Amino acid sequence: MSENPNAHGSNTMTKTENKPAKVLVVEDDDNLRLAVSDNLEDEGYDVMSTRTAAKADDYVNRYPFDLIVLDIMLPDSDGFILCKQWRERGVHAMILMLTARDQEEDMVKGFSAGADDYIVKPYQLRVFLSRVAALLRRFDRKTHQTEDRLDELPGFQINKVARTVTNAEGAPVDLTKIEYDLLLYMLQNKNCALTYDDILESVWGESVVVVQGAIRNTVSSLRKKLDAAKQNNWRIVTLRGIGYRFELDE
């Protein structure tokens, strides 16, 4: 089976744009890749597909995807590694990992790498398409945010367009997509108690199954990367049994 470098979906449009959402399917099983691509095209999405990480990376460099359906086991790389590299490079597309690996540690690893959702094979078509639609709604909300301004984090500069964070010396802070999204969510809700459910729904997405341990690990990593212990005008406070509060002194 050949790869699909050209879109050939239907003319169905998204609700908020005059063009269909652009989706990349990265799956080394030819039959499954064809089935997934056909199902997505039937929903009206603009679909491209490939079986290798190298070609997927090439496509991502050339096309602005809204969603990437990513297998973990690829012939030339690991989906976890590929996902992490994309997030580090500032790729904004939603990433849905589609894999036969159903262990909790694999799911946590996927979300830590920057995945937005994780679905295990074999899957029900309606569930898969619902997850895709939910992710694209989230992507649409983020893309069309009307807020152009965000309060600065003392000691850091945040560039919302480039999705980058730099410290006072101008050095970049290497945040994963989830860490960056969590930081913005906390800043937007500073001095408010944020429950685990609040964080899960707003940062990971309501359709994603995430254990509290994954949230705690992300908060811990964010604290370390921002070197929060040295800050005396803001802090991420743990609310035992509840969640967190981002405290910023006025």
Q: What domains are defined for the chain?
A: 22-143 (3.40.50.2300), 156-248 (1.10.10.10)
pLDDT over 50 (residue 189): yes
- Candidates 244, 224, 222, 209; CA nearest to 110 is 209
**Could you report how far apart the first and last alpha carbons of the chain are, in Å?**
60
**% of the chain exceeding 70 in pLDDT:** 85
Confidence of residue 206 (pLDDT cuts 50, 70, 90): low
pLDDT over 50 (residue 27): yes
Confidence of residue 204 (pLDDT cuts 50, 70, 90): confident
Q: What are phi and psi of 172, to 5 degrees?
A: -70, 145
The pLDDT value given to residue 229: 65
pLDDT in tens, 106-115: 888 888 888 9
The pLDDT value given to residue 6: 45
Angle between helices 125-143 and 30-42 (to 10 degrees): 60
pLDDT over 90 (residue 70): yes
Structure tokens at 70: 């990513």
User: Is the CB of residue 73 less than 8 Å from the CB of residue 79?
Assistant: yes
HEC secondary structure over 134-201: HHHHHHHHHHCCCCCCCCCCCCEEEECCCCEEEECCCCECCCCHHHHHHHHHHHHCCCCEEEHHHHHH
**% of the chain exceeding 90 in pLDDT:** 40
The pLDDT value given to residue 147: 43
Kindly report the average pLDDT of the chain as a whole number. 83
- What is the value of pTM for the model shown? 0.56
Rounded to whole angstroms, the Cα distance separating 202 from 204 reads: 6
The pLDDT value given to residue 91: 84
Average pLDDT over residues 11-31: 74
The pLDDT value given to residue 146: 34
The pLDDT value given to residue 11: 40
The pLDDT value given to residue 105: 81
Structure tokens at 239: 């609310």
Burial 103-133 (b: 16+ CB within 10 A, else e): eeebbbbbbbbbbbbbbeeeeeeeebbebbb
pLDDT over 70 (residue 131): yes
Choose between 220 and 211: higher pLDDT.
220
Q: Is 129 helix (H, G, I), strand (E, B) or coil?
A: helix
